[in-house]
Amino acid sequence: MDAKQVLADLQRRFPNEPEYHQAVEEVLGTIEEEYNKHPEFDKVNLIERLCIPDRIYQFRVTWTDDKGNVQTNMGYRIQHNNAIGPYKGGIRFHKSVNLGILKFLAFEQTFKNSLTTLAMGGAKGGSDFSPRGKSSAEVMRFCQAFMLELYRHIGPDCDVPAGDIGVGGREVGYMFGAYKKYCRQFQGVLTGKGLEFGGSLIRPEATGYGTVYFLRAMLKTKGQEIAGKKVLISGSGNVAQYAAEKVLQLGGTVMTMSDSDGYIYDPDGIDRAKLDYIFDLKQVQRGRIKEYVEEYPNAKYVAGAKPWFEKADIALPCATQNELNEEAAKALVANGVIAVAEGANMPTTPDAIKVLQDAKVLYSPGKASNAGGVSVSGLEMAQNSQRLNWTSEEVDAKLLWIMENIHDNCVKYGTEADGYVNYVKGANVAGFMKVAKAMMAQGVF
Ligand code: NDP
């Protein structure tokens, strides 16, 4: 494989999809050497078959708002690769959603799911519908309309969607209800379900907790721990909230949280009581993070900015893609940050990754450190198949084992001559090899 040539071909055939190109470039750049040790891969053009999704569904979603106006949005499902298990990946509802963003996410998901050791292929879906500012009745009507198309293409052994940005327990519940109504089947077809109808304990916590378990494993390689460290967190959604909770449990101090309008910095740290306020603000009131400073006036709110320029020891980007750029990475390095663990998908730009790696900062890509969410989704599928529920302790212990195992694999495949662990390379090579071997065994499709 000539990685540059493969990328150039994809850019020519699929223009205007920069995030997809960015994700492919990052993976190809790190697996090229390993891939080229296997001439049998190239004989069957394995790399193109792995980069281009198996299939893409694209549809119009029509729904009626509270004023009686008929609205249309676009809906998508990318089924990227099912060599090692049923398609699996979240659904994102956000106004920025387009085909290129979902293709990047589905591509990444394929490697991430492979790393978890569970039997799950890669997929992603979503819509340019944003639940922000909509009533629950509008969100419900939208979810029902979205599922009216999607239900034909998913199933417990075919494709199992989950949540992502803008899709939490409420949206998964509405989509599950619609699926059940259209199919007349009660199946484990979505994960992140409510506990009363097949959800798994620890699923809401899993991505955030898993990110911090991974961070702890990275720090351990340097004889460091989370206790006593100051942590910058971006986002204030599902991943950010539970990453903050686990940091607090392990003795760290959370200094910041954010949303797409700005960030809050609390010089005294966001303690348990303040985090409970944020849980209520975001999960129940569906408010904005700037309201925090009205409750805690010692904190500041900075509009239109990211938290990366504040002084701390650790950064956890937990909001969205490309939210940590080169300038921000330089500020983190200058401020002495020792570790950056991604809770979000692809939040760090390629330039910024280079800055962090050149400075030998511990840096983990989302496909490794945020794999806890999909891992517990895989455990939810296992419990649904068994018609059994495991305790939180059982699920949490499995999550911890999976995160430490992913960390070990990154160290195995990513350790460089000087001992620095390139977690990007480690995660990509480990994730790729399993999928590649499965594809080789299954013939050319
Ligand atoms: P949520 O919708 O719960 O929260 C998203 C948070 O990020 C919100 O605070 C949101 O602010 C902020 N945000 C969204 N878009 C932007 C933007 N363009 N600029 C700045 N801030 C933004 O989503 P999740 O917490 O579930 O997901 C966060 C990230 O983690 C995503 O990258 C997702 O793909 C990834 N992830 C999620 C998993 C999960 O289990 N949920 C699993 C693995 C990865 P606002 O309210 O203003 O939009």
The tens digit of pLDDT for each residue in 301-357 reads 999 999 999 999 999 999 999 999 999 999 999 999 999 999 999 999 999 999 999
Global pTM reads: 0.97
pLDDT at 200 > cutoff 90: yes
The tens digit of pLDDT for each residue in 274-284 reads 999 999 999 99
Give me the percent of the chain exceeding a pLDDT of 90.
100
Nearest-5° angle of CA 92, CA 93, CA 95? 120
The tens digit of pLDDT for each residue in 36-63 reads 999 999 999 999 999 999 999 999 999 9
Q: Across 367-432, where does the E strand assignment appear?
A: none
Q: CA 326 from chain center: how many Å?
A: 21
Q: Hey, which residues does 314 pair with through a beta bridge? A: 231, 339
Residue 227 in 3-state DSSP?
Answer: coil
Compute the chain's Rg from CA coordinates: 21
Atom from ligand 1 closest to the CA of residue 345:
32
The protein residue whose alpha carbon is closest to atom 34 in ligand 1 is 345
pLDDT at 121 > cutoff 90: yes
| CATH topology identical between 3-186 and 205-364 | yes
Would you state the pLDDT for residue 160?
98
Residue 227: pLDDT band by 50, 70, 90 thresholds?
A: very high
Residue 294 neighbours by CB distance under 10 Å: 9
Tokens of 377: 């989704």
- Third-level CATH fold of 3-186: Rossmann fold (3.40.50)
Give me the percent of the chain exceeding a pLDDT of 70.
100
Q: How many residues does the chain have?
A: 445
Q: What is the mean pLDDT of residues 224-230?
A: 98
Q: What is the mean pLDDT of residues 167-175?
A: 97
Pick one of 1.10.10.10, 3.40.50.300, 3.30.450.40, 3.40.50.720 as the CATH number of 205-364.
Answer: 3.40.50.720
Would you state the pLDDT for residue 1?
85
Per-domain boundaries in the chain: 3-186, 205-364
For residues 207 and 239, is the Cβ–Cβ distance under 8 A? yes
Distance 164 CA to ligand 1 centre (A): 7
For residues 269 and 254, is the Cβ–Cβ distance under 8 A? yes
Give the C-alpha separation, 386 to 156, whole Å. Answer: 13
pLDDT at 34 > cutoff 90: yes
The protein residue whose alpha carbon is closest to atom 35 in ligand 1 is 344
- Tell which residue, 309, 321, 236, has the closest CA to residue 270: 236
Distance 235 CA to ligand 1 centre (A): 6
Give the C-alpha separation, 173 to 160, whole Å. Answer: 14
Give the C-alpha separation, 361 to 356, whole Å. Answer: 5
Would you state the pLDDT for residue 329?
98
Give the C-alpha separation, 262 to 96, whole Å. Answer: 18
Distance 92 CA to ligand 1 centre (A): 9
The protein residue whose alpha carbon is closest to atom 23 in ligand 1 is 165
The tens digit of pLDDT for each residue in 382-400 reads 999 999 999 999 999 999 9
Instruction: Pick from 259, 292, 342, 374 the residue to mutate for probing ligand 1's pocket: most ligand atoms within 8 Å of its CB.
Output: 259
Average pLDDT, the chain: 97
Residue 406 neighbours by CB distance under 10 Å: 30
Distance 237 CA to ligand 1 centre (A): 6
Residues with CB under 6 A from ligand 1: 163-166, 168, 207, 235-240, 259-261, 318-320, 323, 343-345, 370, 373
The tens digit of pLDDT for each residue in 76-105 reads 999 999 999 999 999 999 999 999 999 999
Q: Residues 6 or more apart from 59 whose CB is under 8 A from it?
A: 74, 75, 76, 149, 150
The tens digit of pLDDT for each residue in 254-281 reads 999 999 999 999 999 999 999 999 999 9
